[in-house]
A and B are shown apart, each in its own frame.
Chain A
Amino acid sequence: QSVLTQPPSVSAAPGQKVTISCSGSSSNIGNNYLSWYQHLPGTAHKLLIYDNNKRPSGIPDRFSGSKSGTSATLGITGLQTGDEADYYCGTWDSSLSAWVFGGGTKLTVL
């Protein structure tokens, strides 16, 4: 059971927009910065978003992050088949004194 809660799967058509939620508590998301990661099987995880809503260089602005209270959202617009992957959120949990993650969300681009 992961500390952060994500939907197991989401799907949308090419060109459409999708959002992936990440829910936590005041000990993690509510008071700490959140990151989002993309993982395509057989490849290394890729950092998509850090500090809730910042994109590393090279990450297209189709990817966006937001946070409100104890929940966060990853948005992906203009979906491409290459976006099919698993997405994870992660942050520090002050109560556990540990870095924690969501269980991951599998994105299918239909």
Chain B
Amino acid sequence: QLQLQESGPGLVKPSETLSLTCSVSGGSISSSSHYWGWIRQPPGKGLEWIGSLYYSGSTYYNPSLKSRVTISVDTSKNQFSLRLSSVTAADTAVYYCARLSADSSGYYGIKDSWGQGTLVTVSS
């Protein structure tokens, strides 16, 4: 059974870079049938898609975050990572990683497996 687990610091200072890793077990991140993604949820607010990645390294990001986001993959460790630079209090959120499958249009947006999430607080 596929499992995803987020890890990283729970506290980041303003203006610094948030770094998280998603470890995948029970399946290969090099699957040709899936993308992998990051989603977040600020306290009391809805879900926000951050970006998605293919095992080859191809990425696409939410335009609202694109200038600050980097998502990368380490196939040897079966992991992918998120870096979000120049964080502010508005970036405080629970961050989730997920596996993405294609819908009938071929868009990789079906989040068919999720991690449990990790809370990242931005504060000095």
Contact = CB atoms under 8 A, between A and B. Distances in A.
Interaction A to B? yes
Interface of A: 2, 32-33, 35, 37, 42-47, 50-51, 56, 88, 90-92, 96-104
Interface string B96-124: 10100101110101111111110000000
Contacts of B113: 44, 47
A44 B107 contact: no
A100 B111 contact: no
B46 A44 contact: no
B46 A32 contact: no
Contacts of B63: 96-98
Interface of B: 4, 45-49, 52, 62-64, 96, 98, 101, 103-105, 107, 109-117
Contacts of A43: 116
Given A47-B113, A56-B112, A90-B47, 17 more contacts: A32-B105, A33-B105, A33-B107, A35-B111, A44-B4, A44-B113, A44-B114, A44-B115, A47-B110, A90-B109, A90-B111, A92-B107, A92-B109, A98-B64, A99-B52, A99-B62, A101-B49
Contact of A45 (B45, B64, B114): B114
Contacts of B109: 33, 35, 90-92, 99
A37 to B, nearest CB: 7
Given A44-B115, A98-B63, A35 B110 contact: yes
Nearest to B103: A33
B112 A100 contact: no
Lowest 6 A-B CB distances belong to which pairs?
A99-B49, A101-B47, A103-B46, A2-B46, A33-B103, A45-B114
Contact of B96 (A32, A45, A99, A103): A45
